[in-house]
Structure 1
């Protein structure tokens, strides 16, 4: 029986917490920042399951953007994978909904209402 080929040299993988290690306080912390909440809102509204980092036009430096993505990934809110040289981001909605039913939808709805209120 043939064995699976080893991973290609130079393959980059990023650490993500398994579902059972995602904690509410970490998720709430990640969602408490306006820039990170913007990323999550865009991912939730995207037609594609994954968006590249370059898709997001945040009004902060590249290093700060990288920090925000790391906080979201390490808290279990998003999953990041490399495809070639592109880092793609996807919302871990299934994990979040299983652990904290209704939380993500409630936060997204509240953020939408706040944006509408502030725009008025």
Structure 2
């Protein structure tokens, strides 16, 4: 497995993270990646009506923003969320964004209880 380049935890900044999450497709990809870490790009993007070239660009933006890590396994790219890095750099930022994203996409994958989709 070969990891692809990604920013160091210390160099993560808010603007690229918010830019990456501003697109509905990227928000859904992040939600899916965080719900089921370790899957490949193709599995996580299953059912999205987006060209492969556009998906590749979305994954690159998410990786360069620091939201995900990507490793190459042959012809596949495996995705891991960078939860610890995001939580350390931006405490409490992603929970409301993920909740709102889930509310806007009711048929998306559940998030293992990490980010509830309704108010408690």
TM-score bracket for the superposition, by shorter chain length: 0.7 to 0.9
Deviation at 1:53, TM superposition (A): 1.0
Structure 2 residue ranges without an equivalent (≥5): 107-120
Kindly indicate whether the alpha-carbon contact (under 8 Å) linking 2:62 and 2:68 is maintained by their aligned counterparts in 1: yes
- Aligned partner of 1:96 among 86, 90, 103: 86
| Separation (CA, whole Å) in 2 of partners of 1:93 and 1:59 | 27
In the alignment, what sits opposite 1:24? 14
Q: Which has the higher helix share?
A: 1
Query: Greater relative contact order: 1 or 2 (C-alpha under 8 angstroms, separation 6 or more)?
Result: 2
Please identify, of 13-22 and 26-35, the stretch whose mean Cα deviation from structure 2 is larger.
13-22
Coordinate RMSD, CA, aligned: 1.5
- Greater C-alpha radius of gyration: 1
Please identify, of 107-116 and 65-74, the stretch whose mean Cα deviation from structure 2 is larger.
107-116
Q: Normalising by structure 2, what TM-score? A: 0.80
- Aligned partner of 2:58 among 68, 80, 83: 68
Runs of 4+ in 1 over 6 A off after TM superposition: none
Number of equivalenced pairs = 104
